[in-house]
Amino acid sequence: MDRASMKRAAACAALDYVGSDVIGVGAGSTAEAFIDVLAASDRRPRAAVAASERSRALLVEHGIAVVSLTADVLPLAVYVDGADEADGELRLIKGGGGALTREKVLASAARRFVCIVDESKLVRALGAFPLPVEVVPMAQALVERELRALSLTTQ
C-alpha cells in the first residue's frame, strides 16, 4: 500500500469517532486526508473548528460548516489530527508544522483526541527532525532561558 492509501485508510478509521457534535480538525496533509474522507462519508458533524486556514478552506469547500472556538461549542466532541512521528509505545511527536498553538488549543478543548497515524510515521526512536517551539511574545525570554537550561538551541 502506498503512503497516500495508508493515510486515507487511517483517516477512514477516524470516522468512527465522528458524530453530530462540533469537532476539531487539525492541520497538514493528514488532516486534509481526514477532511476528504469526512466529506465523502455520511458522517456529518454539526460544524468544525479548524486548526489552520488551509483546513478551514477545505472544510468550507466540502460544505462543512466552520465555527470559532467559543463557549457554546465547548467541549469539542473530538479533535482529529495527525502526528509527525509515533513509536512502538504509541508515544507521539506533534507540532512539526505551522499551526502549533492552534493544534494544542483544539486538542485541549476536546473530550477525545484521535490521532491519525499510518505506518509511514512509525519510528524506532522519536526525534528524527527538529521540533519547533512556538512562543507568545510575552514569554520569549522565559522560554529561551528554559530551553538553554535543557541544553537546547534557540533560533
pLDDT tens by residue, 96-154: 777 888 999 999 999 999 999 988 889 999 887 677 888 889 999 999 999 999 988 76
CATH number for the domain that contains residue 32: 3.40.50.1360
Mean pLDDT of 19-30: 95
| In-domain check, residue 150 | no
Residue 142 maps to a domain: no
Domain residues for 53?
A: 3-129
pTM score of the predicted model: 0.87
| 42 within some domain | yes
Q: For 59-77, what is the mean pLDDT? A: 97
Is residue 110 within 8 Å of 77, Cβ to Cβ? yes
Cell of 10: 487511517
Catalytic machinery residues: 103
In-domain check, residue 10: yes
Task: Give the number of domains in the chain.
Answer: 1
Tell whether 97 is covered by a domain. yes
Measured between alpha carbons, how far is residue 69 from residues 49, 73, 118 in Å?
6, 7, 28
**Contact call for residues 20 and 46 (beta carbons, < 8 A):** yes
Alpha-carbon span 26 to 40, nearest angstrom: 18
